[in-house]
Structure 1
Amino acid sequence: MRCIRGRVWATVRGIPGGLMTLQSLLFFLSMMSAPSVQSRLAAADVPGADVVIAHHEVHTTVAATGASTVMEKKLYKIQTPKGAAQLSTLRFDVDPNTNAVDIVSVSLCWSSGGCRTIQPEVAMVPQPAGWILWRFFMKIVSLPALEPGMGLEVTTRKRGFMIAYLGADEEQEFVPPMKGHFYDQILFGEDPYPVLEQEYILVMPAAMRLHVREYNGPIASSSSYTSTTTTRRWVMRDLPAFEHEPMMPFPSDSLPKIVLATVPDWQAKSRWFHEVNEKQFEPTPEIRAKVSELVRGITARDQKLAILTRWVANNIRYRGFSMGKSEGYLLHAGSQVFEERAGVCKDIASMLVTMARAAGFTAYPAMTMAGARVEDEPADQFNHSVVAVKNDDGTFTMLDPTWAPLDRYVWSWAEREQHYVVGTPQGGVLERIPASMPADNLLRFVMSSKYKDEKTLLLKSKLEGRGYSDTVLRRAIGYAPVAERDLLGAEFGRKLSPQARVTRFTWTDPWKFDAFVAFSAEVETPAPYYRVDGDFVWSPLALRALPEFDRLLPWLLLRPNPARRHPVLLRSNMILELEETFESAKPLTVRSLPESQPVRTSVAGFTWKVTVEPRRIRFTARLELPSRRVSAAQYASFVDTIAAFARLDRLSVRLEVGK
C-alpha cells in the first residue's frame, strides 16, 4: 500500500526553449573523460542475457534549498531479438503536479563506431490505475526497430518527486517536503538486465552535512571538494539482473544500496511530520457524536481503542482520490475522510487519530515501512501510515486501521518487527514493533477418520488459528460472497481425491471478534489405504486434507534454489499442529512402525509421533517457524526442512487386522 511514498528526485526549474541548463552542462562535462560508448559496447557481452546495460549513471546536483536535478544516462546493448523487442518502448512515470521528466537525448550506437541521435515519438498517457486514482501519467518513448549488436543510449533529466505537494509556488517549483533538506535511497542492481557499471554521483553545497551509509555492499566510493561544493561518487560493477524471488521482502532489504539524508536526526523528521499534520485532526460535531455513540458505556481503555479502530477499518474504504495538495505527507483532514468515507493509509490513519482525540486519547500519526526494514539514517524509507496512542508511561499503543478490516487485532501480526517513527511535538526516535512468539500465530488442524463402508472413508476435521492464522481464516470466509462460502469447504477434500465429496461445512461468525474463527468439515473420500501380503498399510492424511487458503501456508510452495540471492520474509512466524486419529472397527496389531526423528534447524523444526492402540491409530506433528526472516544463506536449510515435513504424508504403518 504505497500511500505516502515521497522519494525526492529533483527540484530546480529548467531553462525553457530547449537551452541546456548549468546542471546539464556539468553532467556532460563529467562524461568527457569516461570510456567511449564504442568501448563500453564492445566490452558488454554477457552470455544468456537479452539486454546488457553497459553503463548506468545517475548524477544528482543539490541546491541549498534541498532542490535537486537528476541527470540519468543509460547505455543498453541489445544481444537478442527478444531484447530488441523489450526495448521497443521505454516508460517514464510522471506526476505533472510534483515532478517533470525530460527526455534529453536518445541515440542509436554501434560498437564498430558512431552514434546517431534520433527524435523518437513521445506520448504522455495516464498510468493504469486500481485502488489509487491520483492522476499519474507516464511518458512512453516509442523507438525504431532495434537489432542485436546495437547500442541504445538514453539521457533524461528529472525534477521533482513523487507524491509530495507541500507548498509549491511560482518562484520555487517542486519545493521539497522538508525544505532545505535532501534525502534519498539508491539501489544498485535493481534493473532487470545485467549491469556492467553503475555510478551514483552526488554534488552538494559544501556547507550541507550528510548522513550516509552503504548497505549490502561493498560499494566503492570517493569524495572530492571545491570551495563551494562536495562531490561524492559510488560505483559498482558486474551486477546481475534483478529477478524477483518468491516471498522475498522489498529489494531494498538485500540489494546493495546507499541511504543518505541531510536531516539531522529522526527527532527532526518526527517534529516536521507532526507540524505539517497537526491541524488535520480537529473533530467535527458529527465525528464527536459518532465517537460518543460507539464508546457509550465502555470504560476499558483497550476496548475503546479496539472499537474505534474497527469502525475506521470497516467503514473507510481503501481508495485514493486526487485531492490537490493533500496527496503528500499531509494527511487528509479527519473531517474530510469522515465525509468521503474513503482514503489511503494516511487518510485512514487521520480518521482514527481524529476519533481517538475526540474520545479523549492523546493520539498521533506515525510513519512506518511495511515489507522491509528502515535503516538508521533519517531518510524517507516509509510506505505506510499508522496511529500511535500515548500511554500513561509515555510509551505508545500502535494501531493500524488500514490492515485491521475483518481482523481480531488492532495491529496486524503480519506487521511485527516493523520500524516506525511517531510524529510528536517533542520529536520521536526510530522504534520497532517487538517480534511475536511462534505460539502467537498457532494454526491447529484436528482430524478423525473411519471407514463408512469397505471402499469409503469418512473424515471429520476442524481448523482454527490464533494471531495471523486467525486473520487469514476470518478473511477467507468473511470476504467470500455469501452464496459461495460453502465452496470453501471443497478445500478440505481437494487434495485427497477427485472423487472426494464434502458433505458438511460450517464456520463461526467472522464478525464476532471476541472468539476465534473455526472451520469444521465432513468429507467422504475413496479409501486411500491398501494391503500388502494381507497386512493393512496406513498413512496419515492430515497434510493432504489441510486446506491451502490464500496466505495461510504459502511457504509450503517454496522450492529448492541453490542460486537464491534474496531472503524470505514470512507473513508471520508460527506453529502448525496436526492431530489425526483413525478409528478401526477391528483390533490392530503393529507389524512395523516408523521411528520418530525430530528435525531442528535455526530456521525451522518439527516433531512427530505415531501411536497404535488396539482399535486406534494416532498421528501428531508440530512444525515451528521461529522467525519471520530467513536469510539467503539459510534458505536451503529452510526449504529442506519444510520438504521433510511435507513428506510425513508418506509415512506408513503396517498392521495386522484382527477379527
Structure 2
Amino acid sequence: MDLLAEDAVGVFDERIRLNPFDVDAHRRKSFFLEGLARLPEAAAAAAAGLEVAPEDEYLLDLQGRVLHRLGRKDDAVARWKEALRVNPKNAVLKRYVEWLDPSVKPFELPYVEDANTLLAAVRGREKENPENDPSVVVLDKGVVRVNTDGTYSSFTQKIVKILSNQGVKQNSSYFAGSFFAAEQAFEWRTARVWRADGSVEEAQVQSGSPMVRWPKLEPGDAIEVQHRVDQLRQTFFGDYFGDSWMFSDRVPVVRSEWTVICPAEKDLAVHVKNMPEGKGEPAVSKSGDGKWTVRTWSLSDLPKIRMEPGMPNPAETHPVVEVSTYRDWNQFATWWWNLIKKQFTVDDGMRAKVAELVKGKETRLDKVRAIYDFVVTDIQYQAWEFGVHGYKPYAATAIFNRKWGDCKDKAILIRTMLDVVGIEAFPVLIYAAQGRSEEDMTLPQIGKFNHCIAWVPDADGKGTGMFLDGTAQYNSLHSVPAMDRGARVLIVKPDGAEVVQIPWNTPEEFAFVQEYDVALDGSGAATLDGKARFTGDFSVMARSLFSVEGKRPLVLQGMLGQSFGKHSIVETRFPDLADIGSPEVEVGLKFRVDGLGVVEGGRMSVPVKFIQFGVLQQFGRVAATEKREHDLVLMNPMAFTERAVVRVPEGWKVASVPGDRSIETPFGRFVVKAKAEGDAVSFERTTALTAHRLETEDYAAFRDMVAKATNALTEKIVLERAAAPEAAPAEGAPPEGGGKA
C-alpha cells in the first residue's frame, strides 16, 4: 500500500515538475497526503501551491484544515480568514471560523433586538389606523464598524408592520441596497415574516443577492430583515470613510437608530441636520478595552413624511446624520489632486492640434471657444464608472488620441489643452440634476458628486469666469447645461478647494420664442409663415432633434401635429446645426393648417395656437393639491414667448379678441396682449418661470397663475361675416320707394 501511495505522490510530483504552475496538481497532492494522515507533508504541499497561486481559495481552505488537525489553531484560522477574503460567500466556513475565533464573531450581535418584543408594542395597530397608513416602521437600525484602514462592516435590522392592503403591495419585496461584489460581501442574517397569529415564516433568499420577495402577506403581518455588508479590502480612497443615515420615512417610524463604531484614535467629523431639539448629539461610549468609540443617535415616534410631487430631496427634509473622516474639503481636494495631477500629459500631436485650433484666434475667449468646441464635438462621451477610473481620469494624451472619454476625462482634457495656450483651468466636481434641491456641503463626502466639469477663472482676459461642461455636446460655450445650473460645486486646485455655486440662468437664457404671420382664409384654413427660436437648453434640444437632416420633416410633423392637428409643411429653413458657437438656434418654417378656424354659421372661432412643450400641463399636475407641506422644486427658470399676426380673410371682420391680462409674481409672470387693427389681429403671450423653487407661502399664488395661464390657452379670436355692401342703384332708376304706381 505504501508503495502505491508513493507512486501516486510521484505522479503528482512529475506533473508539477513538468508544469510548476499546475495548481490542480498541487491541490490533489496536498489532499492525497492529508488522506494518508501525512499532515506536515500535506501542509507543505499546500504551501508550495500557494506560492504559485496565493489566492486559490481551495488551497487556502485545505491548508487551514491541515494546520487545524496539526493543532495549530491560530495559523489555521489565519488561513481560513484569507480564504474568506478571497471568497466571502463561503457561509459554512465563515460560521466555523466565527465559532473557533471569538474575535471574528459578528460585531453586531450585541445590537440585534428581539422582534417579538418590539412587535408586541404595536399589536393591533392595523385596527387603530385613523390615517390609513399602509405600514409602520417598528425598527430601522443601522450599525457600522469602521476599521483603521477605512474598511468597514455595516449591519441593518429593519422591522415593518403591514397595516393595510396598500401596505401589502408596497412591501411585496425588499431591496437591501447595492454593493460592489469585487470589493464587498453581502450576507443575509435573517429575512422572515412574523404572522399576525404569532407564527414565523422564513423567506427564501439567494446568497449574494440583496433582493428578497416575501411570501403572501396580509394586514397584521410584519416583515423583518437583518443583513450585513463587509468592505473586503481598502479602496484607492485609502483610509477614508464616509456615510449618512436618514431617520424618517413616508410612513410613521416607531424608532430609528444609527450606531457608528470607530477606532478611538481615528478622527470622525460629524454633521447633523433637521434633528429634533436636543437629539443632535449622540450617546457616546467606549468599548471595554478602550480601543473603540461608539456613537449612537436614536429618534422615536417619528411622524410620516407626506410625499408631494416636486418636493425637495429627502436629504433636505429628513433628519440626517453625516460622518466623514475628511476634516474639510481641502483635505479631500489635496487627495484627489494628487490622484489626477500626473494625468495632465501633453504630446506633440496635442500641441499641433491646439495650434491648429487657435490659429487666427486673436482673443482669449475665441481660443477658449475653439478648444471647448473641439472637446465637446470631436471627443466622444462614454461613461466609465467602475473601479479606480470611476474617480481617476485617464491621461490627457490617451483621451486625445483615442477620441473618447467620460466627464472627468473631458474636464482633464479641457484643462490640459487650455494650459498649452497659457489659459488656466481647473477640474470641478458637481452633482448634476434636473430639479435641484438645496445642497449641504458642510461635510466633505465623496458621494456628494456624480459629475465633473471645468472652471476657467479668466476666460476673456477681463476676469470673467466660465464653467465648461465637456459632455454638453450641443451646448454653446455660453450655455451651461440646465443640469449644472444652481449646483454647489467643488473647484479642485493644487493648493486646496473652493466651494462655489454655479449661477442660475435667467428665463431669457432658457427660452422658446415663436413668431408667425397667419394668413387665414374664409374656410378656416390658414398658412403660417414664421420662425421658432430656441435658446439655451432649448437650443440643445433643437440641435439634437434635428441633427439628422433627413428626419427633420418627420420631427417637425410630430411637434406641429400635437398643437395644430392636420397640417402640411411647405418650407423649412435650418441653420448649420453643427455650429454650436451660438446659444440660439433659429428655425424658419412655413406650413398649412387645414382647420385652424372653425366656421359655424356666420362666425369663425380661431384659437391662437403655437408649438407647446407641455410645461403648463406639468405645472398643473404639481399644483393639483390645494395645500402643500413642503416647498416646490421647479424647473430651471425659462420663458415662452408667442407672437402672431392673424390676417382676417376677405368678407370677415373681428368680433372679439382675447382680453389683455398681466400676472406678475416673485416666481413667474404671465402676460397676454391682443389688439385688432384693420384687417389683422396682433397677439402676444409670454409665460415665464423666474424662480427655480417655490416656498409654501407662495403656493396659492402659483396655483392661481397656473390656472389662469392654462385657461388662457383655450381663448380664441372670434370673427364674424361682414355685411355685404349695398348695391348702388342703376343709372336712371327711381329712388327706392319713389315713382308712381
- Normalising by the smaller structure, the TM-score range is 0.7 to 0.9
The reply to whether residue 284 of structure 1 matches residue 347 of structure 2 is yes
**Aligned twin of 2:426:** 364
The reply to whether residue 518 of structure 1 matches residue 577 of structure 2 is no
Q: Which runs of 5+ in 2 are unaligned?
A: 1-83, 725-741
> Measured at CA, do residues 395 and 511 of structure 1 come closer, stay the same or move farther in structure 2, by a change above 3 Å?
closer
Alpha-carbon distance in 2 for matches of 1:643, 1:262: 50
The aligned amino acid for 1:39 is A
Query: CA offset at residue 456 of structure 1?
Result: 1.6
> Measured at CA, do residues 17 and 95 of structure 1 come closer, stay the same or move farther in structure 2, by a change above 3 Å?
same
Query: CA offset at residue 64 of structure 1?
Result: 4.0
**Aligned twin of 1:245:** 309
> Measured at CA, do residues 348 and 563 of structure 1 come closer, stay the same or move farther in structure 2, by a change above 3 Å?
farther
Alpha-carbon distance in 1 for matches of 2:651, 2:659: 22
Alpha-carbon distance in 1 for matches of 2:374, 2:351: 14
**Aligned twin of 1:415:** 484
**Aligned twin of 1:333:** 395
The aligned amino acid for 1:546 is I
Alpha-carbon distance in 2 for matches of 1:344, 1:632: 39
The aligned amino acid for 1:149 is G
> Measured at CA, do residues 365 and 610 of structure 1 come closer, stay the same or move farther in structure 2, by a change above 3 Å?
same
Query: CA offset at residue 270 of structure 1?
Result: 1.9
The aligned amino acid for 2:110 is L
The residue correspondences of 1:87-236 to structure 2 (distance < 5 A) are 87-88=172-173, 90=175, 92-113=177-198, 115=200, 118=202, 120-122=204-206, 124=208, 139-141=210-212, 144-160=215-231, 173-175=232-234, 178-189=237-248, 195-206=253-264, 208-216=266-274, 218=276, 220-227=279-286, 228=290, 229-235=293-299
Q: Secondary structure at the match of 1:287?
A: helix
> Measured at CA, do residues 321 and 528 of structure 1 come closer, stay the same or move farther in structure 2, by a change above 3 Å?
closer
TM-score (norm 2): 0.73
1:57 to 141, 149, 160: 141
Alpha-carbon distance in 1 for matches of 2:541, 2:563: 22
Query: CA offset at residue 476 of structure 1?
Result: 2.2
What are the superposed Cα offsets for residues 514-545 of structure 1, whole Å, 9 maximum, x if unpaired? Answer: 443122333322444456884x4555413xx2
Query: CA offset at residue 221 of structure 1?
Result: 4.0
Alpha-carbon distance in 2 for matches of 1:395, 1:457: 48
Contact 1:54 1:197 (C-alpha < 8 Å) held by counterparts: yes
1:30 to 95, 98, 111: 111
The aligned amino acid for 1:622 is T
Query: CA offset at residue 612 of structure 1?
Result: 1.0
Alpha-carbon distance in 1 for matches of 2:342, 2:454: 16
Query: CA offset at residue 583 of structure 1?
Result: 0.9
The residue correspondences of 1:469-618 to structure 2 (distance < 5 A) are 469-478=538-547, 481-491=548-558, 493-515=560-582, 516-529=584-597, 534=602, 536=603, 538-542=605-609, 545-548=610-613, 555=619, 558-562=622-626, 567-586=631-650, 592=656, 595-618=659-682
What are the superposed Cα offsets for residues 4-61 of structure 1, whole Å, 9 maximum, x if unpaired? Answer: xxxxxxxx98996222886975533234589824325526536655554332111122
**Aligned twin of 2:733:** none
Alpha-carbon distance in 2 for matches of 1:216, 1:423: 29
1:621 to 685, 700, 706: 685
**Aligned twin of 1:17:** 94
Alpha-carbon distance in 2 for matches of 1:408, 1:490: 30
> Measured at CA, do residues 254 and 333 of structure 1 come closer, stay the same or move farther in structure 2, by a change above 3 Å?
farther
The aligned amino acid for 1:421 is L
The reply to whether residue 298 of structure 1 matches residue 352 of structure 2 is no
Alpha-carbon distance in 2 for matches of 1:307, 1:40: 68
What are the superposed Cα offsets for residues 303-326 of structure 1, whole Å, 9 maximum, x if unpaired? Answer: 222222222222333333577532
Q: Secondary structure at the match of 2:701?
A: helix
Query: CA offset at residue 281 of structure 1?
Result: 1.7
Contact 2:648 2:654 (C-alpha < 8 Å) held by counterparts: no
What are the superposed Cα offsets for residues 314-352 of structure 1, whole Å, 9 maximum, x if unpaired? Answer: 23333335775323x222222333344333322332332
Query: CA offset at residue 244 of structure 1?
Result: 7.8
Pick which of 268-277 and 46-55 moved more. Answer: 46-55
**Aligned twin of 2:407:** 345
Q: Secondary structure at the match of 2:513?
A: strand
Q: Secondary structure at the match of 2:666?
A: coil
Alpha-carbon distance in 1 for matches of 2:658, 2:475: 43
Q: By percentage of residues, which structure has more strand?
A: 1
Alpha-carbon distance in 2 for matches of 1:201, 1:491: 56
**Aligned twin of 2:535:** 466
Query: CA offset at residue 475 of structure 1?
Result: 2.2
> Measured at CA, do residues 396 and 457 of structure 1 come closer, stay the same or move farther in structure 2, by a change above 3 Å?
closer
Contact 1:404 1:410 (C-alpha < 8 Å) held by counterparts: no
Alpha-carbon distance in 1 for matches of 2:229, 2:514: 55
Alpha-carbon distance in 2 for matches of 1:188, 1:592: 59
Higher-Rg structure is 2
Alpha-carbon distance in 2 for matches of 1:340, 1:462: 40
The reply to whether residue 311 of structure 1 matches residue 374 of structure 2 is yes
Query: CA offset at residue 415 of structure 1?
Result: 1.9
**Aligned twin of 1:386:** 453
Query: CA offset at residue 231 of structure 1?
Result: 1.2
**Aligned twin of 2:736:** none
Alpha-carbon distance in 1 for matches of 2:258, 2:504: 35
The aligned amino acid for 1:363 is A
Query: CA offset at residue 432 of structure 1?
Result: 0.8
Alpha-carbon distance in 2 for matches of 1:190, 1:402: 36
Contact 2:203 2:212 (C-alpha < 8 Å) held by counterparts: no
> Measured at CA, do residues 321 and 620 of structure 1 come closer, stay the same or move farther in structure 2, by a change above 3 Å?
closer
Contact 2:350 2:417 (C-alpha < 8 Å) held by counterparts: yes
What are the superposed Cα offsets for residues 251-302 of structure 1, whole Å, 9 maximum, x if unpaired? Answer: 4344443333342222222222211111122123333333333223323222
Query: CA offset at residue 487 of structure 1?
Result: 1.2
**Aligned twin of 2:730:** none
Query: CA offset at residue 249 of structure 1?
Result: 6.0
Query: CA offset at residue 393 of structure 1?
Result: 8.6
The aligned amino acid for 1:17 is K
Q: Secondary structure at the match of 1:122?
A: coil
Alpha-carbon distance in 1 for matches of 2:237, 2:125: 41
What are the superposed Cα offsets for residues 451-481 of structure 1, whole Å, 9 maximum, x if unpaired? Answer: 2452422222321032233222222212xx4
Contact 2:607 2:717 (C-alpha < 8 Å) held by counterparts: no
> Measured at CA, do residues 374 and 276 of structure 1 come closer, stay the same or move farther in structure 2, by a change above 3 Å?
farther
> Measured at CA, do residues 254 and 67 of structure 1 come closer, stay the same or move farther in structure 2, by a change above 3 Å?
same
Q: Secondary structure at the match of 1:42?
A: coil
Query: CA offset at residue 208 of structure 1?
Result: 4.8
The reply to whether residue 447 of structure 1 matches residue 447 of structure 2 is no
Query: CA offset at residue 615 of structure 1?
Result: 0.9
> Measured at CA, do residues 186 and 88 of structure 1 come closer, stay the same or move farther in structure 2, by a change above 3 Å?
closer
**Aligned twin of 1:377:** 443
Q: Secondary structure at the match of 2:443?
A: coil
Query: CA offset at residue 233 of structure 1?
Result: 0.4
State the aligned residue count. Answer: 613
TM-score (norm 1): 0.81
**Aligned twin of 1:430:** 499
The reply to whether residue 354 of structure 1 matches residue 425 of structure 2 is no
Contact 1:491 1:547 (C-alpha < 8 Å) held by counterparts: no
**Aligned twin of 1:73:** 157
Alpha-carbon distance in 2 for matches of 1:651, 1:122: 60
